Structure 1
Amino acid sequence: MKILVVDDEAPIRDICNQALGLAGYEVATAASGEDAVRILDRGWDIVLTDFAMPGKVDGGELMWRVKSVGDADVIIMTAYPAFETAMQAIKSGAFDYLIKPFTLETLLMAVKRCADKRELSQELAREKILREELDQAYTKLERMEEVREAFGQFVTPEVAEYVLAHPQDFLKRGERKEVTVLFADVRGFTPFSAGVPPEEVVSALNDISALVIDAIQREGGILNKFIGDGLMALFGAPVPNKDHAVAAARAALLARDAVEARSEAGRKLGQVPLRIGIGLNTGEVVAGCVGTKERAEYSVIGHAVNLAARLEKTAAPGQILLGPETSKLLQGSFEMSGTITLKLSGVPEPVPVTELIDLKRPD
């Protein structure tokens, strides 16, 4: 606790300095109001000042200066015990006043009361800040829960932070966006599930889902929904990403390779191999929250979504099929097969389809 003692009488300064120093306070002195003003910016907690001092800065003026530069408390010392003097000091903002001559016990008690009050005020301020921080954390948790309800439990912290920072975009009921949609589905699941206990079926499906979701999230995509033993993911919404097609392609390759490695390890153990087929398509969709006020989820709707789903259904085990817009955006960065035109179920016109093979390696 830092205390500044201001008095034009040296004996008063010396006695206060010695007594307060022995009591454990950090003490400095000033012989006039002008001297005190020059050092008011040193972070004092208590200013103990004479009320009637010679010069332009008396105790009343000094008290005003103290209050204007910080939050220090002021204790007035006065040799004029008139009631009006005391009231003037208190009204001006003094914490307390001492009538000269005073005993050291009176001095120490007044300073201790002031120090205790300051510590209590600081504790209350800390508690207020803590309560505000807890309230903010609780509000954020509530909003995070809203995000998870809309996006599912697999939403990444990055996506959640973006949604929380851009609620106006998140709450839009329909917004046109160009995105890349990824569909993935397990191949060989039906014969596998027919020959093993249900617990192993669930475990295997969870393992594969975890591999695919990890690949999606590593490349900045979001898992939109599970569909049976498959899933749908988005790149470019709700978090903008101008390279959404590249990110989706990288995620598809990571997912395929991870599942293929798992399948090969299982085959060596005599297990039925489980592989995935993937469809990627890029195009304009309507993105936003679909549902009611009580229950809504983020989704995308449009032909681009339907085409991605059809490509996934057409893909062979371990194969990644691309729609025409996706293959255009990947030119030069990925190895792809020659394009063929296929008639896909549910799509009226034949579609140019390309197979994604791998990242293009440096020559």
Structure 2
Amino acid sequence: MTEFDLTARIGTKKECSIGGRTSYFSYVPKPLPPNPPLRMEELYPLLDRASTALGRLDGISIILPDPSLFLYMYIRKEAVLSSQIEGTQSSLSDLLLFEAEAAPGAPLDDVTEVSCYVAAMNYGMERLKEFPLSLRLIREIHSKLLNNARGGNKSPGEFRVSQNWIGGTRPDTAKFVPPPPEELMNCLDSFEKFLHDETVRLPVLIKAALAHVQFETIHPFLDGNGRLGRLLITFILCAEGVLQAPLLYLSLYFKANRQAYYDHLQNVRETGNWEDWITFFLTGVIDTANQATQAAKHMILLFDTDRTRIEESGKSTAATLSIHAYLQKQPVTNTTRLKNACGISLPTVLRSLTTLEELGIVHEITGKERNKVFAYRQYLNILNHGSEPLEY
């Protein structure tokens, strides 16, 4: 493809002003799909590998004894990772402590923000069962995403009516300035048409890759665009039937390759080179899907091994096995929750936890005499891979 062909894909720069004085240029992207069309022959080998990896991940539910368990924890890991990219310092353990009504180690606002991400994902998946992926649904999901102290003043659920920008203190010093408010709805209408245009015959993974960049470029909200843009990838794959459940999350890959991720987004806007971005994206799908598949296998092996150890310990009881099963759903918990969830007395809970501690399956993590919190540490180690907060 020639240089000239690529530049035809580049959007337009629109001169704007601040208070009628200081001028700056905003960027209005061309509608999708790219024109000239993508050079698919360059992408097909990687697309085949990505589709195979995704199919393997989607089929993991066949070997998982409880697919909802894996999904429950993986959504939480994605929430932590995606929020870390935006600057929160919450870990997965912090989120689980928060959900267990125990004090997290990270600032409460950080953990609440991550918890809202979980709520937004779950809400979106439920709505997709009866409602198409649309601007209306995107606004609803955004409202859930920003349902916290930090997001309350950022117009949750409403498209912006003022200029925003990325980097810098003002639009004229920013690294990137999205479309101005008067162009926003035209860009969003074109975006929605692309999502539903059946004449656009592109593989779903390619469609998701294009939609993610376009959404990030339009940046339609005052806050939460990055997190929602990453959620959209999974929503598109599920809405199009490529995934039966939301098992693929690219935030770990984007976090590990953060600068390359930002560079690719900007490179599309400046050069029109969508192929390089899609190559990066598909590589991420392969890596992430393979890692998730391996994590699921490790979880199955751990649960089976620990259950066998309990049964062969000579201290196996129905209560101990019941608590072990509950810890697979809630790997950070306290005695009160175990008592209520498993329907057993507090003394029985304590005896069972002592057995699990002696076997090295659970650990008490507060060091306190009262209000103790227990963690299924080896399970958390599998889940925690890559979810340590970023250094800034």
TM-score, with normalisation over the residues of structure 1?
0.26
Larger Rg: 1
Q: Which has the higher contact order (CA 8 A, sep 6+)?
A: 2
TM-score, with normalisation over the residues of structure 2?
0.24
Q: Which structure shows the higher helix fraction?
A: 2
Q: Which structure shows the higher strand fraction?
A: 1
